[in-house]
Structure 1
Amino acid sequence: MEFCPDCGKVLIPKHNILHCYGCGYEKMIAEENKNDYVIEEDVSDKQNIIITGDKVNTMPTTNGLCYRCHNRELEWWMVQTRKSDEATTIFYRCTKCGNTWRR
Structure 2
Amino acid sequence: MEFCPQCKSMMMPKDGMMVCRKCGHKLPKANSESLVSKTEQLSRIVPVLEQESAGLPTTTARCPECGNNVAYWWLRQLRSADESEVRFFRCTKCSNTWREYD
Instruction: Report TM bin, short chain.
Output: 0.3 to 0.5
| TM-score (normalised: structure 1) | 0.46
TM-score (norm 2): 0.47
**Structure with greater Cα Rg:** 2
More strand by share: 2
